C-alpha cells in the first residue's frame, strides 16, 4: 500500500496526517516507510525532533523521479506513506504517480476547497496513465458543532471524489505531539485525537483491502 498525502495549498496538515497515518499503520503491525517528498522537509524535521526510538524510517525523496525510484525501496515494506510537495509541479506529479491512493487534506475553509481543484486535476491527469490510482478527501482541523464544519463535505461534492468518513478536529495535541517528534497516539493515547487517527487508519486500511479483493 502506497498512500500519498498532497494538497497544493500549504498549511492544510499534510505532514500531521502523514506522520500519524504511518504511526497508526505501525500500530497495526505493518512495516512502514515514511517518504518526505516536500522540499520543506517537515517530516524529516519531525523525525529529528524525536528522542524516542523511531517508529519507522523517514527518508527524503523530494525529486521528480520519485515514481521511478520508489518501487525498489518500497518492496521491503508493507506500507509507504508519502508526505507530498505543495504546488502543482513536477514533485507533486511524481508523488501522485508513485501512489496507489492520494489523500487530499482539506480544512473547512472556502480557500482550501477552492485550492483542492488543482490537486484533483493532477490526480485525474495521472489516472490517464495509472488507471488504478484513487483519491479521497480528508477533512482536517474540523471545528465541531459549526455550520462550516458540517457543510464542508457537501461543498466537496462537485469534485466527484470520495470524502472519508473519518475526520480530524482542531486539537492542540496534534501540534504539541509534533513538536516532540511523537504521534498523537504516543503523546496522548486516550485522547479524542488518537481515536480520530485510529478511525482514519482503519478506514484507509479497509478501503485498501476492498481494492485488493476486487
Every domain of the chain and the residues it spans: 2-213
Among 58-62, 86-90, 159-163, the range scoring the smallest mean pLDDT is: 86-90
Q: Note the pLDDT of residue 148.
A: 57
Show Cβ contacts of residue 176 under 8 Å, excluding neighbours closer than 6 positions.
187
147-155 helix and 110-127 helix, angle to the nearest 10 degrees: 20
pLDDT digits (tens, 9 = 90+) for 7-56: 877 767 899 999 999 999 999 999 999 999 999 999 999 999 999 999 99
CATH superfamily of 2-213: P-loop containing nucleotide triphosphate hydrolases (3.40.50.300)
pLDDT digits (tens, 9 = 90+) for 99-137: 999 999 998 777 778 888 888 999 999 999 899 999 999
pTM: 0.92
Residue among 49, 41, 53, 51 nearest 15 (CA) = 41
Q: Note the pLDDT of residue 147.
A: 56
Contact status, residue 96 vs residue 126, Cβ threshold 8 Å: yes
Amino acid at each position: 500500500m502506497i498512500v500519498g498525502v498532497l494538497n497544493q495549498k500549504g498549511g492544510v496538515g499534510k505532514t500531521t496526517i502523514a506522520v500519524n497515518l504511518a504511526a497508526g499503520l505501525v500500530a497495526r503491525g505493518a512495516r512502514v516507510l515514511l517518504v518526505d517528498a516536500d522540499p520543506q522537509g517537515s517530516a524529516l524535521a519531525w523525525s529529528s525532533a524525536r528522542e524516542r526510538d523511531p517508529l519507522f524510517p523517514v527518508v527524503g525523496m523530494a525529486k521528480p523521479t520519485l515514481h521511478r525510484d520508489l518501487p525498489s525501496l518500497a518492496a521491503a515494506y508493507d506500507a509507504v506513506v508519502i508526505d507530498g510537495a505543495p504546488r502543482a509541479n513536477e514533485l507533486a506529479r511524481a508523488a501522485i504517480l508513485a501512489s496507489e491512493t492520494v489523500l487530499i487534506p482539506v480544512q473547512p475553509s472556502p480557500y482550501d476547497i477552492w485550492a483542492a481543484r488543482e490537486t484533483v486535476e493532477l490526480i485525474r491527469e495521472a489516472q490517464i496513465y495509472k488507471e488504478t490510482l484513487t483519491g479521497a478527501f480528508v477533512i482536517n482541523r474540523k471545528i465541531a458543532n459549526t455550520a462550516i464544519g458540517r457543510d464542508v463535505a457537501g461543498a466537496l461534492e462537485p469534485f466527484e471524489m470520495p470524502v472519508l468518513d473519518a475526520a480530524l478536529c482542531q486539537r492542540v495535541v496534534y501540534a504539541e505531539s509534533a513538536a516532540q517528534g511523537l504521534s498523537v497516539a504516543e503523546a496522548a493515547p486516550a485522547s479524542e485525537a488518537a481515536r480520530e487517527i485510529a478511525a482514519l487508519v482503519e478506514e484507509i486500511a479497509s478501503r485498501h483491502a476492498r481494492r485488493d479483493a476486487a
